[in-house]
Amino acid sequence: MACNFEFFQYKGLIGEANLRYARGENEDAINLCKEVIRQAPSYAEPFQALSMFYENQEDYENRCEVLKSIGAVKEQLKALLTMLRGVHQPENEQKKNEWVELAEKIFRMYFASGHLHSARRALSNALVTCADHFKMEHFNLLLELQILTKHYLDVIKTLNRHCGLVFNNKIIDEIDLEETESMELTKDLPLDILSKLCITLCTKRAAAKKVVWESADEDSDDEELEFGASSIELQEEYRLLRLTCEYLFKEQRLVELERICFTALTSPLFRRKREICREIQFITLEVCLAKGDSYYAYNLARGLLLRHNLYKKRVWNLMIQTCRQSGS
């Protein structure tokens, strides 16, 4: 009986709040709703009324907070998008910061709900308008989404325009990227972003041609190899490859890791140093084992056993693992 009395009491207060709002007593109406929420936080009606009041007043920030508190994700997202449109073209520093913050909130909501393309567009639109207010964490989020949605050319363009990646030619489309002869990093970038650059370059290369990993084992004179022009030293490029592999393995992104390793196996630059080429073969073999690709692991181990006597003990250990895996 007491519960019914409280229910009707709260319902009466919400009715009074609606009447006061209709009479233009907005602040009193809002305070009444807040008081009901304080007394009965599980009662939905005051949240709904409060959300409506804020929407009518175009106070979307407070409305978002109300919607968030009741888990109305879809309505909250609509409110955030309305806020973002309301900013229009931000003219001062404060507005630009607000734009980026709103875009990040929208991105996180889309990302959490699995709408990756919408999440990517939210950050991309903010970058077009407020690039100067993007932090490295924002670039990292955007690059991650561009990779997840397979917009690899956009990764290159973002790094080229905003993160100090310089090419000898202007990158507008896929053909420009294929025709580039050299690139240079003019800024110190975090490992996460460097890894995404390596992932993108290797993925683009892997898509351009079929990877034939056996060719990495072929003996040939260094003079016969053709090397692309690059401002990055061979050892530095190998270091970046190792860092990328470590990052992807830590994140358990084994599909991308395997693709990068197989692409690296065919690189003329890495074949220039037999020690590096051999280490890449071992890394690839270990990745294949981790991913469960026994066929490739066996063939890599077999090739290493036949070609590199000094490494037999190390290879035999991996060969035993491969045989156990394929037999299980």
233 DSSP β-pair partners: none
pLDDT at 267: 76
| Unique residue bearing structure tokens 């077009």 | 128
pTM value is 0.54
Residue 165: its H or E element: strand 165-167
pLDDT at 5: 47
pLDDT at 110: 83
The residue length of the chain stands at 328
**CB-based contacts of 205: which residues, under 8 Å, 6+ apart?**
263
Query: Are the beta carbons of 79 and 67 closer than 8 angstroms?
Result: yes
Phi, psi of 92 (to 5 degrees): -110, 175
Residue 271: its H or E element: helix 268-271
**CB-based contacts of 183: which residues, under 8 Å, 6+ apart?**
165, 166, 167, 168, 230, 231, 232
Residues of the chain with pLDDT under 70: 1-8, 72, 82-92, 202, 204-232, 305-328
User: Rounded distance, CA 187 to CA 170, Å?
Assistant: 18
Q: What is the pLDDT of residues 131-188, one digit of tens each?
A: 888 888 889 999 999 988 989 889 989 998 888 888 877 777 777 777 777 778 788 8
Name the residue ranges covered by the structural domains of the chain: 209-220+231-327
- Please choose, from the candidates 231, 236, 251, 325, the residue with its C-alpha nearest in 3D space to the C-alpha of residue 286: 325
**DSSP 8-class letter at 222:** G
Query: Are the beta carbons of 51 and 66 closer than 8 angstroms?
Result: yes
Q: ∠ CA 128-129-131 to the nearest 5 degrees?
A: 70
pLDDT at 224: 34
Long-range CB pairs of 123-127, under 8 A, 24+ apart, other chains included? 124/154, 126/99, 126/100, 126/102, 127/158, 127/162
